[in-house]
Amino acid sequence: MSNKKQHILEHPMDDLLRMDRIPHIWCPGCGLGSDVAAFADGLKRAEVDFDKVAVVSGIGCTGRVAGYIKLDSYHTTHGRAIPFATGLKLANRDLTVVVFSGDGDLFAIGGNHLIHAARRNLDINVICVNNFIYGMTGGQNAPTTPLGAYSSTAPFGNYEAPFNLVGITAAAGANYVARWTTVQARRLSQSIATAAKKKGFCFIEVVSPCATVFARKNKGGTGLDLMKEFRNRTVIDHKADPTQIPLTMDDEIVCGEFVNREDPTFWENVQNGIKDQVEKNADWEKIQSEKNKRLYKKTLKYEGSRDIG
């Protein structure tokens, strides 16, 4: 009997979660927990060494992910998860670095970092949970809030055109771009596994329900109602042009793996660039020493004639 009880407590994801911090702070009906479960499952599918995986988050609801995943995890400042992850990856190239953050964190305050990381094709994975709104601060407008949707700072409906996240990253040069909703948990997990093994900048957008603010502001019902709506609106089309599939209030949500290419990464390019130089500069130290000695002799004369006073 006692054996059975122990069994109940050991959830198969417990080894990847900080159980001393569960229950987490996310609301009932929020999709973030499901996304974390898909991430944990994806890592297991990819069969990577968990000790070599680092998770970096920014600020916000999704920013809290790092705190719940039992890996080397860093909870950084708002919007700066990607440059932080870049530093981690470049200083230890054996690591698999995953940035897990929200749409506001990655595309508003951190938008510049994201497009530049994609441009450099840095070998990091970015999982962007898109809930169309700023959840933690109380439902303010996000760069992804669809036109006409209501938020705390758009009381008359949003009048700013939103970003199409997959379009931006594909255009900026990412090696892998996918979009899923929380409902397609298995496909999402498969996508995360693919990204974990893939080189270069991998971007996965996860359309996720925010029950407490987005659904409430937009009369969307509960988290479950949003999930049902996502399911009804989802169309899976891997061949879709990522720049032509923005997310709106009512149109279909086109999901799939839109980009999957093998461009050389930042570090591969660095290695190619210095390959010749390393040989050419084998005796660089000596050359520099001699060159500088000559220069120095000249200036000694000059300095000698100067009145330092």
Binders of other proteins among residues 256 to 275 (CB under 8 A) are: 266-267, 270, 273-274
Candidate residues 185, 202, 247, 259; the one interacting with other proteins per rule CB under 8 A:
185
Residues 6+ apart with CB under 8 A from 165: 103, 107, 128, 130, 144, 179, 203, 205
Binding residues for other proteins, total number by CB under 8 A:
89
According to CB under 8 A, which residues from 125 to 164 bind other proteins?
A: none
| DSSP symbols for 25-84 | SPPTT-SHHHHHHHHHHHHHHHT--GGGEEEEE-SSTGGGHHHHBSSEEEE-STT-HHHH
Candidate residues 118, 133, 210, 227; the one interacting with other proteins per rule CB under 8 A:
227
Tell me the closest approach of the beta carbon of residue 14 to other proteins, in angstroms. 8
* Site for other proteins contains 187 (CB under 8 A): no
Rounded-to-integer distance, Cα 248 and Cα 233, Å: 11
Candidate residues 44, 136, 228, 240; the one interacting with other proteins per rule CB under 8 A:
228
Tell me the closest approach of the beta carbon of residue 287 to other proteins, in angstroms. 11
Rounded-to-integer distance, Cα 120 and Cα 60, Å: 26
* Site for other proteins contains 195 (CB under 8 A): no
Q: Which of 235, 236, 238, 210 is nearest to 103 (CA)?
A: 210
Structure-token pair, residue 98: 């995953």
Binding mask 56-95 for other proteins (x = CB under 8 A): x---------xx--xxxxxxxx--x-xxxxxxxxxxx-xx
| CA dist 90 → 56, 85, 122, 173, 265 (Å) | 14, 9, 9, 19, 11
Stretch that binds other proteins, among 111-119, 158-166, 191-199, 239-247 (CB under 8 A): 111-119
CB-nearer residue toward other proteins: 219 or 293: 293
Tell me the closest approach of the beta carbon of residue 133 to other proteins, in angstroms. 17
Binding mask 32-51 for other proteins (x = CB under 8 A): xxx-xxx--x--------xx
Pinpoint the alpha helices (H) of the chain: 2-9, 32-46, 65-68, 81-91, 103-104, 111-120, 165-172, 185-197, 216-217, 223-233, 266-280, 284-304
* Site for other proteins contains 180 (CB under 8 A): no
* Site for other proteins contains 253 (CB under 8 A): no
Q: Which of 77, 126, 74 is nearest to 100 (CA)?
A: 126
CB-nearer residue toward other proteins: 63 or 143: 63
Candidate residues 47, 186, 237, 260; the one interacting with other proteins per rule CB under 8 A:
186
Candidate residues 22, 235, 237, 260; the one interacting with other proteins per rule CB under 8 A:
22
